[in-house]
Structure formats: structure tokens, C-alpha cells
Chain A
């Protein structure tokens, strides 16, 4: 599986949810967020990686400038103790894909709320997502205190 297929498989499942606000390749301060989700007025970013989790964590840290909660998402079998520790240390969250449930994500490590949000960057993401289709809320478990 390629990363592109990884993202699109999750996207296809998310799109099935009525009215959910999601966006792929969402621009954010010179980066591109693989997947961004809007929940009420909160933004959740998800960076997908099959292997290079260090790079994913680095990218996700940058996403905290525009997202309230920043996650990386990896295949379950690639998640090691080292990944979990690095994610926790990096102040981001970790997801994996749940193939059984209707909602595609399982939260492995809940993301803390970002203290780095720069309001204009977050607003740009919101504006971008509002131009996307849909409005239904995503499950609250992605937004952890």
C-alpha cells in the first residue's frame, strides 16, 4: 500500500459520513496537511505515514500552529513503543485505522490541545475546510483535553 492509498482509503470512509467537514492536502504555512477535520470550531490535523514516523512527527509539530489537535496515523502493525514514546514527547497524538468500525480511526494516543495555535493559520484552515463539502461533527474522542 502507498501513503496516497492509505490517505484515500480513510478519506473515502470519512466522506460517507454526512456533511462532515474534511479536507485533504490542506495548505498550512508552507506545509500540506494530509487530512484536516473540523469539529465545531476546532481543527484536527492528521499526517499519514506508513514508515517514516519521525518525519510525520516533525510535520505534525508544525501543524500545531494551525490545528488544535495534531495527529499522525500509522498502520497498526507499524506502531512500536518507540513511536508511542516519541509521539507523547512530541506533544501530538497517534491514530491507527480501525477497519471494523464505521468511523475509520482508533485513538492510540490522545493529542493534547496545542498551545502553539497561531490564529491566522487556524482561520486559513477553517476557511479552506468550509469551502469543502459537509458539516457533520466528527467524534469528540479526537479532541482530547
Chain B
């Protein structure tokens, strides 16, 4: 998944990724149209002289998405309102602009790139067809649905989906519909039923991309997790579903086949297993380690405590047996696992003065990040492909929680029992 603002911000670099580093990998571009319904201050940065100005990437998106967005955001300096899109022609034009951006942007950049001449050579001199750099699917414009905004924005979303189906059909690309809802809406069964019922009447949706605002599977209640699975199940009756920002709980549900039609889960590298609709801000990067038995990134201090409790530092063999034997850990952990584990947590201290007081922060080194990201990717690959049973998953989670119960805070390990009981209750007997 690529986000539209990144593509708008650096199209050449993103085209390079698609054509070279991630060659032949399918991609989908999230148009992020919900950004235009929020306070426009979120779309601005502070230019010189403390003047607020639209971010360049947002400006690019607005101009590509068409006059409806431009009129509201740039000319009238206000967010989009549902009334901007109630006129069907306006909605059609908006959908065309959004889909056209997804289809054309990276393709155009790729055609202008240096590698294009090599593809042309391959196409003319070998049987290798010239690649198309179009996305695998296009995503209809969408807006964030909350308990208070549902009645106003849902009809707009539905109309955008309908109009996008027509345009997508013309391009020959399947259409995905992104559903972004608040946590409040997630647990409102009646509202969820109405959302699904509306979308079920739109013919031609090839997939649903689901994003529940700020929904961390690690801190969600059992009821929230059950409601989430129920939402996926209802949508999957219409079209395959992908959870855009999820972690191992979603992976387990998918691997266990609890919801036929639940196609999978996406996230970023170490980040993005949950995401807020309104950006919260980056924060200071800290050294964290993805602890496989917890299926969670924990701060480095907790990782050390946990590994000790799980006897992972006893020997190299013990580390690989009880903690992780992924390719990265096999490279990093040597015969002194306690010392070599340091590679996952090395930082550089940077001190500065803040209001007359010296403040010291530690930033992970570049090589630390490489180790932790590589380890994370290897673990995720294992999780995505592992054959598992519900009882195995539940037993391991409970065992981990028991072993770590006096070593780590309850907030760090509490999800284990919740996941175990929810998965057990949902798995077919």
C-alpha cells in the first residue's frame, strides 16, 4: 500500500521503488481523500515568517483531485463538506480525478525514468513484455465515518463507490472501497449493519480495505475485537476484506480461516499495526524489539527482562529455541547471547538544553534499525505463513503471559489472555 501524499511528495522516488526495488510487486495507492474533511490546519505546514501554507504534496493532490477540492480547501480555506459532493456530476468528476491520479501518476513517472529504455529493449528484443506500472486495484474516494458524521458522510461514500465502479470498469482495473470508521462506530452494531447493508447494494466492489481509527489490537478489549471480527465477517459476505492497519491478531484470524474472505492484513515496517485518522505526530524513535511470543514490539528494557524470564540468555541454542530463530537472529546472536542481543538496542545519546535544563535522548543507530526491521520482517513472514491451530495459539499466548507476569507490566502482556479467549471463542470447534 502506498499513500497518495507520499506519492505526490516524491513521485520519482516512489516510481523508482515500483519499477526497480519492488519490481513486479503489486501495489495499491490509498488516495487519502479523508484528509480533506478534517481541519485544514492538518494539511498545512509553517512556512518562513510563521505563515501557514498548504504542504506541497497536499497541493499536488488537490489539483489532481479536481475543482471541488480546490474550491473548498484552497479558495475557501475550509474542509470539504458533504454538501460539496451531493451533486452527482460533482461527485463523478471528483471520483475520476482521484482514480486518474492513482492510475497515471506512477505510470507517467516510470515512463520518464532511466529504466524505461531497458524495458523497451527487453520488450523489442526478447519475449519480455513491457511492464505496466498501473496499480493492481484502484480505491474509490472515501471519508471517515464516525457516530456523529455517519448520516452525512455514508451517502457520499456510497455515491463515490458507485461512480468509481463505472470509471474503474472503463480502465479495466478492479475497484476497492476503503471503509474508515471510529472505534465508537465499531461497537455500534446497528450502525455497522447499516454501513454493510449500504455497501452491499453497490455492485462491482472487488475488495474492502478496512481501517478502524486508532485501533490497537494489543490494547483493544475482547468486545472490540469480537465486533471487529463481526465487521470483517459481514463485509466478507460481499467482497474480500483487508485490514489496513493490523497485527498478529488479524493474522491469526486470517490464518485460522475464522472468516472466509478475510484476505489479510497490512502494516508498515515495525509501525502501522494501528493508526490514527488524525495524525498524532511522530514522537521520538526509541529502540524496540519485536518479541515473537508476545507478537508485540516492546521497549528494549522490557525485551531484556522478557528474554531473561524466558531463559533466552542461557545460551545461543536457548535463545533460538525460546525467543527467535529467524535469519536475523541467527546472524546477530552469538555464543554470548546476552551481549550480542545489544545489537538490537544500540543507541546514540544526543544532549541539548531545553528551558535551561540538559535533556538527553537516545536515538537508535542506523544499524540497530536495520537489525530490528529485518528481524520484524522475518517474524512477520513466519506469522503470515505458519500453519496454526486456535488451541496452539491460545496455549502459547497464555504460557507467555504466565511466564512474564511478574516481569513486565500488565499493560504490556494483558492482550495475551484477551486474544486467547477471543480466538478460542471464534474458532470453529
Q: Which residues of A contact B (CB under 8 A)?
A: 4, 24-27, 29-32, 62, 65, 116, 118-121, 128
Q: Is the interface of A mostly helix, strand, loop or mixed?
A: mixed
Q: In the complex, how many angstroms separate the beta carbon of A22 from the nearest chain B beta carbon?
A: 14
Q: Determine which of A24, A26, A30, A32 lies in contact with B301 in the assembled complex, contact meaning CB atoms within 8 Å.
A: A30
Question: CB distance A118 to B287 under 8 Å?
Answer: no
Within 8 Å by CB of B360, from A27, A65, A116, A121, lies A27
Q: Can you name 6 A-B pairs with beta carbons within 8 Å?
A: A29-B300, A30-B299, A30-B362, A62-B301, A118-B304, A121-B304
- Whether the pair A29, B301 counts as a contact (CB closer than 8 A) is yes
State which of B299, B300, B356 has its C-beta within 8 Å of the C-beta of A4: B356
Q: Which of B339, B347, B356 is the one whose CB lies under 8 Å from A27? A: B347
In the complex, what residue of chain A is closest to B287 when comparing beta carbons? A30
Contacts of B300 in A (CB 8 A): 29-30
B79 within 8 A of A: no
Known: A65-B301, A65-B304. A120 touches B360 (CB 8 A): no
A27 touches B342 (CB 8 A): no
Taking the closest CB of chain B, its distance from the CB of A47, in whole angstroms, is 14
Complex CA–CA separation, A4 to B354 (angstroms): 12
* Whole-angstrom distance between the Cβ of A63 and the nearest chain B Cβ: 10
Whether B286 and A25, one on each chain, are in contact in the complex, defined by CB atoms closer than 8 angstroms, is no
CB neighbours of B287 from chain A (8 A)? 29-30
B contact face: mostly helix, strand, loop, or mixed: mixed
Q: What is the bound-complex CA distance between A25 and B304, given in angstroms?
A: 22
Bound complex: CA A65 to CA B351 (Å): 21
Interface membership of chain B positions 322-357, coded 1 if the CB is closer than 8 angstroms to chain A and 0 otherwise: 000000000000000011011001010101000011
Q: Flag whether B358 is at the interface (Cβ < 8 A).
A: yes
Q: Using a Cβ–Cβ cut-off of 8 Å, how many residues does chain B contribute to the interface with A?
A: 22
CB pair A118–B338 under 8 Å, yes or no, is: yes
B residues in contact (CB < 8 Å) with A: 286-287, 299-301, 304-305, 338-339, 341-342, 345, 347, 349, 351, 356-362
- Asked if B357 and A30 make an inter-chain contact with CB atoms under 8 angstroms apart, the answer reads no
Residues of A within 8 A of B286 (CB): 30
B305–chain A nearest beta-carbon distance, Å: 8
A28 CB to nearest B CB, Å: 9
How many Å lie between the Cα of A101 and that of B300 in the bound state?
Answer: 39
A30: B residues at CB distance < 8 A = 286-287, 299-301, 347, 362
Specify which chain B residues have a CB less than 8 angstroms from the CB of A62 in the assembled complex. Answer: 301
**Cα–Cα distance between A30 and B285 once the two chains are bound (Å):** 10
Instruction: Compute how far the CA of A29 lies from the CA of B299 in the bound complex, rounded to whole angstroms.
Output: 9
Q: Pick the contact of B351 from A25, A119, A120 — CB < 8 Å?
A: A25
State which of A4, A24, A26, A29 has its C-beta within 8 Å of the C-beta of B345: A29
| Bound-complex Cα distance A121 to B361 (A) | 15
Q: For residue B54, give the distance in angstroms from its CB to the closest CB of chain A.
A: 36
Residues of A within 8 A of B359 (CB): 25, 32
**In contact, B360 and A32 (Cβ under 8 angstroms):** yes
Nearest residue (CB) in A for B357 is A4
Query: How far is it, in angstroms, between the C-alpha of A25 and the C-alpha of B338 when the chains are bound?
Result: 25
Most B Cβ at <10 Å: residue of A4, A27, A30: A30
- Assuming A25-B359, A30-B301, A116-B305, what are 18 further A-B pairs, CB within 8 angstroms? A4-B357, A25-B358, A26-B360, A29-B300, A29-B301, A29-B304, A29-B345, A29-B362, A30-B286, A30-B347, A32-B360, A65-B304, A118-B304, A119-B338, A120-B339, A120-B341, A120-B342, A121-B304
When distances are taken between beta carbons in the complex, the residues of chain B under 8 Å from A119 are 338-339
| Alpha-carbon separation in the docked complex, A125 to B347 (Å) | 12
Instruction: State in angstroms the CA–CA spacing of A47 and B351 once bound together.
Output: 18
A116 and B313 alpha carbons, distance in the complex (Å): 13
- Complex interface: chain B residues within 8 A of A65 (CB): 301, 304
Least CB distance, B393 to chain A, in whole angstroms: 30
Q: How far is the CB of B270 from chain A (nearest CB, A)?
A: 16
Q: How far is the CA of A29 from the CA of B287 in the complex (A)?
A: 8
Contact check, A27 vs B301: say whether CB atoms are below 8 A apart.
Answer: no
Report the nearest A residue to B338, measured CB to CB.
A119
Chain B residues lying within 8 Å of A31, measured Cβ to Cβ, are 301
Docked Cα-Cα span, A65 to B342, in Å, equals: 13
A79 CA to B360 CA in the complex, in Å? 28
Residue of B nearest to A128 (CB): B349
Complex alpha-carbon distance, A101 and B347, angstroms: 38
- Nearest-neighbour CB distance to chain B for A126, whole angstroms, equals 14
Contacts of B360 in A (CB 8 A): 25-27, 32
Q: Which residue of A lies closest to B358 (CB)?
A: A25
- Closest chain B CB from A61 CB (angstroms): 10
**Structural contact, A27 and B358, CB atoms closer than 8 A:** no
Residues of A within 8 A of B349 (CB): 27, 128
